Structure formats: C-alpha cells, structure tokens
Structure 1
Amino acid sequence: MPINSSSVSTKEQAVLVTDDYRPNQQQVAQLLGQLNQVVLDKPQVVKLALSCVLAGGHLLLQDLPGMGKTTLAQGLAQLLGLTFNRVQFTNDMLPADILGMSIYNQATLDFEFRRGPIFTQLLLADEINRSSPKTQSALLEAMEERQVTQDGQTYRLPQPFFVIATQNPLQQAGVYPLPESQLDRFLMCLSLGYPSPAAERALLQGQDRRELLATLKALFNTDAVSLAQQGVQQVYVADVVLDYLQRLVAKTRVSQEYHGLSPRGVLSLQRAAQAHAYASGHNEVSPEDIQAVFAAVTDHRLGQRFVSPNALSGQAPQTIAQRILADVAVII
C-alpha cells in the first residue's frame, strides 16, 4: 500500500515503512476475523487487544467473571503461534510459584534453578488481583525488563514476552487492588462488557468456546510477531498529530483529582496509536488512532477503577479519558 506523499508534512522527516515491514493487511484481517468468531460482538476490544500485543505491551482485562477474558487471551496466543502458560492466581500463591525456585540436586551436589511458568512467550495471569501484593510485585521486573532475578542470578525470558492479566472488580470478595506501579506496567486495560442479545443467542446456540479454541490454527509465528513489532515502530507520526497527543497529555496534568500521565505513559500512548494504525493497514498515525486507544492506555493510569454498567440503562459512566477527549480539540 503506497504512502500518500501529500499526507506527509515534510518528506525528508517521514520514516517510511519499507516493504519488509509493511503490514500484511490480509493476514491481520484474517486473524481479527477468526478471533471475532470466538469473542463475539466485541470487534473494537479485539482490535485493541491485538494492537497491544503488536506494540509489545502487556494487557490487563478487567471485568466480571465469565465475560470471556480468558477466551480472548487463549485465542490470541493460539493465533499468534506463541508458547502459552496459564497461572490461576490465589491468595496463598508465592512468588516462587510463578518465577521458579532453586532446588538442591543430590546428583550434582549443587542447587539448580527450576524455571516457573513465567518462562513462556505469553503468560495468562488469571485473576491476578486475588493474589497478595507480594506475589503481584514478583511480576514487576519480568514485565519491565523481560528477565527474572533469583538468588543473585538473572535469567532472560523468552522473546517476545507478554503478560495478559485478568482481574475481577474490587467490589468482589477476596481481591487486592493492584498498586499503581503495577498498573503502569500494563500498556492497555480493557473491559469486554455484556454481549448484545444477538451475540448472546449465538453463544447459546453455537459451538462451545473451548471446542472452538481447539480448532484455531496459528496464523503468525515468533518471527512474524517480532517483525510486526518492528513494523509498528516504523509507522510515521506527523508533528501535528504529536501536537494533538501532547495537548491530551497536558490536559491530564492539570487536574487536582488524579496525577497526570508520566513520560512512560506518554510513550505508551504513542506506541499504542502506532500499533492501532498498523493493525488498520495504515502507514501513519491519525488523530482517530489516538482517540481509539486513549481510554485503554490512560484510564487505569489516571486512577479510573472498574465501574459496573448501570443496571437500567446498560451504559457505564463517562470515564476520565472520555471527558478529556471531549474537551481537547483536534485542530489538524
């Protein structure tokens, strides 16, 4: 797909997407289509979840139990062709249950490190907020540095490495709130919400989701995912689009109710917008890409906690990010 030179303000400044990194729109569309057959009636959430992975970020799925969070994570892992481990978090889980531990080997008369389930390419941390803060913090180094340190020894994690975590609303029993430092490690936070009546009828009459997941064939592999991540970095962001992004960021920093986005949050917003453009088959970021990812990237960083939809109207209250988007003009 050629780049329209008229859309680039200064040709010499444009970071052009080469043929090697150009998105295969047919392949991406096929992946999204198959994932949408498993997770019904949530095309935007599915696209954002894929964008999060293509951006090299970690994903937090926040919703009521039974809404399809685990199904989405498993579907992504299978279609992307990544090695996959699932850990069910509980309140008695210890950090060693995730990271691994050193065990004495009588044959060699020495300790050897037995790797935990975190040594995989995609880790599903199911109901992460049911574990204690000590266990939750065990993931911080792995999520940021892609490595694990045990007994003074550092072990690199497989590449690429992603964490997809699910958590239940804080109003439910037996959960611990994730600290701000951990929330900031997640590039995006998404909620699936209730399905439409038509999608719910399809669930009732259709194939079991577990059986459907078992039929999925990998459309990507490790090399393809890595190549796509490089392609995301090549997506061009014009100065006028960066101006709009910075105005949104500045708006987050003037409130007395919450702390504004940190520099890491700003970089995450840009990378997520690039990934959304890439998944859409575009070579440069538009304001619409920023608007599409803004709430998913910022709300959990600004202290927006899970809010259950209104039981009568079915509509959730306006989030912090939605209010900011409404207040800041695009001006392109």
Structure 2
Amino acid sequence: MTGDPILHVTEGIAPAGQLSLRAGLVAGQTGLFLLFTVGFGVLGLLVEKEQGTLGRIRSIAVPQWTIIAAKAVVGFSLGVVASAVLLASGTLFFGVNFGTPAVVGLLVLGAAAAATSLTFVVAKVVRTAEQANVAQSIVAMVLIRGAAAGRFILQRCPGCSNVQYPPRDACHNCLGTELSWEVADRRGLLSAKTTIHSSNEPYFQERLPWTIGSVASMEGPTIVAHLLPGCVTGEPVVMELRLDAAGRGVVVARPATDPPDSIEPSARPSENDFLSDPKSKRLLVTDGCSMLGHFVIATLLGRGAAAVTAGCPRTDGICPEHDSSERLTWFNVAADSSWPSREWYRAAQLPDPESTDDSSVFDAVFDTSN
C-alpha cells in the first residue's frame, strides 16, 4: 500500500523559553500597569463610599448589582487597554515578539479578569482606599515585623546581591523577583535634611517642626529617614526600624556619636514618637478590625506586649469573632470623633495619654484606622 505519509517528522531546536531583557522589561511593566489600572477602576468604590457618592448612586432606581458590574467592566476594560498598548509599544519600539497575537490576546483577557477578581477581594476585605493600598503590598507587613523585633532589615537580591530601599516587588538592578529580607548594616552618612513646618495630618500638626533626611547607607541605597535630634548633614548616623504612630515600620536615624547638650528638649521627632520594643508595654490600636490593625495586634502580642487595647468600629457592639483575653481588650471606636483628640478618648471611654496620670495610660498608640 502506497500513498502520502501520515506523519512528517522534522528535526529542530526548541526555544529556551527565557525572555530576553527587553521582553522581560516590557512584560514586567505590563503586569504593573495592569494591576494599577484595574485597581484604579475597582477601588474607586471605596473612595466613592468614603465621600458619600456611592450612597447617592445606590439611591437611583437601578438594580444594585449593576453598580458593581459597571465597576468590574471599567476595571477589566482599563486593564485590557493598558496591557494591549504596552505590549504593542514593546513590539513596535523594542522589536519584542511574544508569539501569536490571538494567543497573547487571550492571555491578556485572562490576566485582566484575574486582576479584576483579585482587586474585588481586596475591596471586600478592607474598609478604606488607603487600607487597600497597604493590603496590596506585603512588604509593609515585613517592615512592621522587623521593627517590632528590633531588627534593621532590607531587601537583598540573591541573583545580583543588590540591596534596595524602598522595598519593591522586583530587583531594580536585574528585575529578579526572588528577593530576601536580611539584617543590614545600620550605618550611613546623612547627605541632606529638611524640616517640615506644615502638615494636614492632625498627628503631625501638634508635633511640628518635624525633621527628615536622606541617608546614604553603607549597604548602597539612599534611605529617607526620620531624624532624631543631633543629626548633622555630612556626619555619620545609625539607622533603626521603629514603629510609628500608625503601627507601620519606618526608618529612624540617630547621630553615630553622642548629640550635643544644646539640643532643644522640644525638638521633633523624639525618641517618644516611635516604639522600638513592644515587650511589657501597654498599647492602644485604634482600629483592630482593619487588615493593618489585625497584623499590628498579632505582631505586638507576639513580641510580648503586656496589654493591647483594640478598637472595633461596629456600631452595634463588638464583633462576635473578637474574643478578649488577659492581654487583649476590645472597645467600640468613637466613630464621631477624630483621633487624636480628647473628645475621641472620652467617646471611646479611654484615658487620654496626654492629660491623665491614670496608671492605665498607654505607652504608645497606633492609629490603624487610615
């Protein structure tokens, strides 16, 4: 029996499957802008809720599901358009070839759908747009844990040994994503500093002027740090990770040598504006129901805090899942008053740390409501 062969076998070389540097850069930027644009569309729900716009929209005689669906369509569409523009630009200007356009298009649609779903999960868990920004970055949680443990840690790339700050999802030197957190050299040189005399934040308004500066660290990156009194431009400093008034991990720098005695006692920031070790301390967390609040409470208790008092914003009592213990006590947040203020403490039935000598006063307060 003769005829054409059913199968033709051709010898060839399979591609390595590794993207080139240009292709990796274009793909990375596409993923970044995909999440950004989708988040811009979907997380707008939180902003509209805070500003009262969502309530007015819901009063319109339309099915409630159409509001959510519209946000989903907007976020999904923005993600698809942003991805298509970046991939097309990469092909046009950098000669990058990602394969068959139809297959790439299906991949973009799937990625945009996944990003939209993920952003809706974030919007469901958190209560404000600012909390959503924190929730999207796990690195903030790592800095909190490092500060509570008294360790100065920075991101290091095992691939190229590059150390970077602020933390990122990828190495800015080689674009590697397998980043590790390691204890770093605390020393640095203060290259510049500035003093802030005006702020819109109530917390800082009572503590101005406030000094920050740029520190050229021994590890390589330049780090923006809060400067304790005595730091002089051009002189060496020592950096630490501390917990600020919102429970976040921030970098604080102090003089490498003893500061002069002529420093004003009221100079800010001061040692009392940050917490370096929660062990045996009595601490207040203004909103324990937020994602940041949950993590801060767990971190403080894990580091040996003597007592943590946490706020619950629920209007009809404490959330059922919040069980008080010997070291953790819950209270109802003063929803009609802003923190920090004496009115807030009175409404929450708590002692004001700045106006009472009560033995139950808190050693530090973390505002996790924003």
Answer yes or no: same fold by TM over 0.5.
no
Which structure is richer in relative contact order (CA contacts within 8 A, separation 6 or more)?
Answer: 1
Structure with the larger strand share: 2
Larger-Rg structure: 2
Structure 2 length normalisation: TM-score?
A: 0.18
Structure with the larger helix share: 1
Structure 1 length normalisation: TM-score?
A: 0.20
